Amino acid sequence: MKKLLIQTSQTRIIAKTLGLTLIVFLFVMFPEKILHYLLILMHIVYESFAYVVEETLIAMFDLSRSNSQLIFFYLSCSVGIFTLYLFC
């Protein structure tokens, strides 16, 4: 099978440059859309982490779901307040 693109160091540099140029172009042209998608991704990661912590609390300490959710909520609030205290 014939290769369509010969891989050399020059083609890798060109591909990286084009990729970086595309990323910069997207951030300049559509910043609110990209920020929106990044925040959605961060929210999904946070909710996944919350689910894992809640299930761990339920399994380890035999808590009810509402108690584990309360623990995670207050833990999240305390981390946020501590972060504000450190950076403000």
Check residue 34 and give its pLDDT.
Answer: 86
pLDDT greater than 70 at residue 3: no
Instruction: State residue 9's pLDDT score.
Output: 81
Proportion of the chain above pLDDT 70, given as a percent: 93
Burial class of residue 67 in the structure, from the number of CB atoms within 10 Å of its CB (0-12 exposed, 13-18 middle, 19+ buried): middle
Q: Is the pLDDT of residue 4 over 70?
A: no
SS3 per residue for the chain: CCCCCCCCHHHHHHHHHHHHHHHHHHHHHCHHHHHHHHHHHHHHHHHHHHHHHHHHHHHHHCCCHHHHHHHHHHHHHHHHHHHHHHHC
Predicted confidence (pLDDT) per residue in 10-45, tens digit: 888 999 999 999 989 988 888 888 889 999 999 999
